[in-house]
């Protein structure tokens, strides 16, 4: 690796995420670093502030169930076709985690503010909802550009400590190709540091190839990379492999009880070593 990013092992990548970190992760379709999340569970990270961009599924649910999360900030946490997210639901109902309820475009807008180095972002709508009422960090201002009365919501910029995701391809210079998963670009630009796992690392320069450049996150933003083949499994990875519906269904069923989740975790995470 000749770029600023360093190529490290999966467990070493997980070591770079400290307890209490504000960790940004993408929604299920966009390249979720599941292998790295399992490594995080094994190293028993605590009190994460998990920012779901803008939603999460099994990743958030598993990290919550394993006791890694203090706060989850999200548009939603759900297993979609496989039903509600059982550990998230349990932890929210018992108060074991703090849920910072947001709405999807607010998360994007706050990250985009950070991307631009701006203190806040305005967003239409939301005013009068209980989402807004329960967010003391959000404010309503008069639109300073309007002649008449025009209240607008403003959101403080969110600067994650770390953005974590899984992508199909990186190059030897540390550039990471994410295709049209634009929220990954926003996450990487907004965060203080980016950690990525990738299917493969090729001896090319993604930034110098027009076919890849538009979907590439520059190595400037990428602090460390780990190679993890199948690193999004059992979730899918765009262009590479589909979601393992059987595994998702089995998780959704097992996690319905605390005991069921613990035995699932023992079997699939704690006793297992990642292949990569």
Partner 1 sequence: MAGISRDAFLIAALARLIGDARSVAVGAGSPIPAAAALLAEEASGGRVRPMILGSSLCGPFNDNGPELFDRAGQGRIDVFFLGGGQIDGAGNINLVGTGPYPKPETRFPGSFGSAYLYFMVPRVILFREEHSRRVLVPKVDFISAPGASDVPLERRGGPDALLTGKALFRFSGARRRFGLESVHPGATMDEVRAGCGFEFDCPDAAPETPAPPVEWLALMNGPVRRRVAEVYPAFAETRLGA
148 binding partner 1? (CB under 8 A): yes
Taking the complex as a whole, the smallest distance from the CB of residue 57 to partner 1 amounts, in Å, to 9
* Residue closer to partner 1, measured from CB, 28 or 223: 28
Write a three-state SS string for 30-94: HCCCHHHHHHHHHCCCCCEEEEEECEECHHHHHHHHCCCEEEEEECEEECHHHCECHHHHHHHHH
Site map for partner 1, 106-145, x if CB under 8 A? x-xx--x----------xxxxxxxxxx-x-----------
Is residue 162 within 8 Å of residue 14, measured between CB atoms? no
Residue 32 CB coordination number (10 Å): 28
Closest CA to 3 of 194, 268, 131: 194
Q: How far is CA 73 from CA 37, 52, 133, 187, 252, in A?
A: 17, 6, 15, 14, 21
Taking the complex as a whole, the smallest distance from the CB of residue 272 to partner 1 amounts, in Å, to 26
70 binding partner 1? (CB under 8 A): no
Size of the site for partner 1 (CB under 8 A): 55
241 binding partner 1? (CB under 8 A): no
Residues 30-59 that bind partner 1 (CB under 8 A): 30, 54-55
Stretch that binds partner 1, among 36-44, 148-156, 200-208, 264-272 (CB under 8 A): 148-156
149 binding partner 1? (CB under 8 A): yes
Taking the complex as a whole, the smallest distance from the CB of residue 172 to partner 1 amounts, in Å, to 27
Taking the complex as a whole, the smallest distance from the CB of residue 62 to partner 1 amounts, in Å, to 16
Residues 8-27 that bind partner 1 (CB under 8 A): 27
Taking the complex as a whole, the smallest distance from the CB of residue 208 to partner 1 amounts, in Å, to 23
Taking the complex as a whole, the smallest distance from the CB of residue 175 to partner 1 amounts, in Å, to 19
Which residue ranges make up the site for partner 1 (CB under 8 A)? Answer: 27, 29-30, 54-55, 74-78, 80-81, 84-85, 88-89, 92-95, 98-99, 101-106, 108-109, 112, 123-132, 134, 148-152, 180-183, 185-186, 238, 245
């Amino acid at each position: 690796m000749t770029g600023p990013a360093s190529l490290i092992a999966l467990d070493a990548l997980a070591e770079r995420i400290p307890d209490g970190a504000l960790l940004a992760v993408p929604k299920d379709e966009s390249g979720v670093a599941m292998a790295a999340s399992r490594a995080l569970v094994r190293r028993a990270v605590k009190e994460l502030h998990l920012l779901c961009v803008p939603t999460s599924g099994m990743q958030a649910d598993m990290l919550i169930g394993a006791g890694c999360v203090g706060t989850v900030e999200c548009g939603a946490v759900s297993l979609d076709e496989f039903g509600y997210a059982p550990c998230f639901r349990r932890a929210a109902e018992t108060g074991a985690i703090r849920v910072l309820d947001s709405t999807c475009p607010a998360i994007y807008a706050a990250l985009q503010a950070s991307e631009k180095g701006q203190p806040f972002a305005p967003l239409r709508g939301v005013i009068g909802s209980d989402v807004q009422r329960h967010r003391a960090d959000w404010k309503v201002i008069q639109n300073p550009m309007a002649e008449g009365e025009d209240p607008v919501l403003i959101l403080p910029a969110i600067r994650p400590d770390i953005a974590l995701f899984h992508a199909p391809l990186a190059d030897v210079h540390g550039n990471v190709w994410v295709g049209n998963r634009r929220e990954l670009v926003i996450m990487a630009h907004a965060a203080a540091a980016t950690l990525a796992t990738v299917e493969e690392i090729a001896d090319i320069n993604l930034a110098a190839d027009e076919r890849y450049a538009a979907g590439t996150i520059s190595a400037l933003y990428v602090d460390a990379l780990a190679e993890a083949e199948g690193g999004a499994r059992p979730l899918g990875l765009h262009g590479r492999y589909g979601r393992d519906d059987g595994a998702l269904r089995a998780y959704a069923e097992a996690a319905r009880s605390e005991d069921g989740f613990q035995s699932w975790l023992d079997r699939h995470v704690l006793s297992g070593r990642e292949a990569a």
